[in-house]
Amino acid sequence: MKIKKYIAPTMPEAMSKIRKELGNDAVILNSKVIQTGGIFGLFKKKNIEVIAAIDPDITKQEYFAEPKKEVNASPAKPVFYKTEQTNEQKLVLDEVRSLRKWVEENNASQQIGSFPQNYESVYTSLVEQDVDASLAKDIVSKVREQFSEEELTVDQIKQHIRTDIQAELNRIGCGGITYDKQFIHLVGPTGVGKTTTIAKIAANAMLKDKKSVALITTDTYRIAAIEQLKTYSKILDVPIEIVYNLTDYKTAKEKFKDYDLVLVDTAGRNFRDPKYVQELGKVVDLEHDIDTYLVLSLTTKSNDLVSIYQQFNQIPLKGIIFTKSDETVTYGSMLNLSLPNEVGIAYMTTGQDVPDDILEVTANNITQLVVGANENV
């Protein structure tokens, strides 16, 4: 069986293409209106998408046939009868019906928005920013329900969405450390930039907030990580302790009990390994008088970010720190984790420079990145 998708400005033009390539025996599995082209979700053109199929071994059934005329027989009205289907033909028809059902269900999931034009434009822009389709639908639907009697422009819809998202993020809580806990742990998969992030937080705590700072590292798996944090400790002129087990950790805690802030760097491991979080508990105390932040890279695929969060959600998380914001142009993943899980976002790193390339996150920061800046401000 041959299956092909056709896109044309109108249905007649689509049908003409189908007849030309597949012939008159083609079966239409599905058709829908789509939008193509445009810039940033705007100025799109409407087209017709048609999915057609043909089995070259089977032609259309002749449902009506005229009986043979007997010689010298008097004229009679033709008798019509239906041709019987073979088992092979029935199997093919069942396959076509099953395929059509799958296509319709698949198209329904892809068209989860299904809003009027201006709302659909905003919905599309959110999805293009990597906001989860279901979450984007909820965000846009809320505004549409609130203003169902009004004709809103794209800019007006976006402004209401900004207001709603900011309100939710403010309710959940955004922003950096507040020094109400002395010990701060950074956890997360390998390669996301935990060590550099710790150096940035330490430098800002010393230079801007005039706090006394000490460092602890449990990342004994990588010599380079230890040397990197040692280098930062020398530059910042702060003490550092390397710990290999929970006993070492407790000793280091006692040693640094008079410091305003103690930052703990943990080993980055394969987040898919369920033993990783369990091993963390054998080296550091994750529950008493500490705050733990999950460090994630915005360059990581959105689905993987969700998987990583679910893995680390086994431990109490104060918030999330997103790194490498300068290496991507899509920021919807921040909403995908923060809003459904009601977890705050503390910092966002914007480069490698210490201590400059780190930003204490606000609800407005995130909203502007995902929805766009308010053009009226």
* Average of per-residue pLDDT values in the chain: 81
- Name the pLDDT band for 137 (thresholds 50, 70, 90): very high
End-to-end CA distance of the chain: 57
The answer to which of 151-155, 222-226, 238-242, 281-285 has the lowest mean pLDDT is 281-285
Give which of 286, 320, 314 is closest to 300, Cα–Cα. 320
How far is Cα of residue 197 from the mean position of the Cα atoms in its chain?
A: 23
* Amino acid letter, 371: V
Average pLDDT over residues 287-300: 87
| Residues near 200 by beta carbon (within 8 Å), at least 6 away in sequence | 349, 354, 355, 357, 358
Q: String of b and e for 188-198 (b: at least 16 CB within 10 Å)?
A: bbeebbbbbbb
Contacts of 80 (CB under 8 A, 6+ apart): 64, 65, 66
Tens digit of each residue's pLDDT (9 = 90 or more) over 304-316: 999 889 888 878 8
Q: What is the CA radius of gyration of the chain?
A: 31
Mean pLDDT of 294-309: 92
User: Can you tell me whether residue 208 is helix, strand or coil?
Assistant: coil
Mean pLDDT of 280-291: 67
pLDDT of residue 343: 95
Residue 224 pLDDT: 72
What is the percent of the chain with per-residue pLDDT over 90, rounded to a whole number? Answer: 45
Q: Quote the CA–CA distance of 117 and 124 in Å, as a whole number.
A: 10
312-325: average pLDDT = 90
Rounded Cα–Cα distance for residues 264 and 285 (Å): 11
Query: What is the per-residue pLDDT for 287?
Result: 62
Q: Is the pLDDT higher at 133 or at 79?
A: 133
Asked if the model's pLDDT at residue 286 lies above 70, the reply is: no
Among the ranges given (76-90, 169-183, 212-226, 312-326), the one the predictor scored with the smallest mean pLDDT? 76-90
The confidence band for 157, taking pLDDT boundaries of 50, 70 and 90, is: very high
More confident call, 8 vs 39: 8
| Domain 183-361 in CATH 3.40.50.300 | yes
* pLDDT, tens digit, 9 for 90 and up, residues 160-210: 999 999 999 999 999 999 999 999 999 988 889 898 999 999 999 999 999
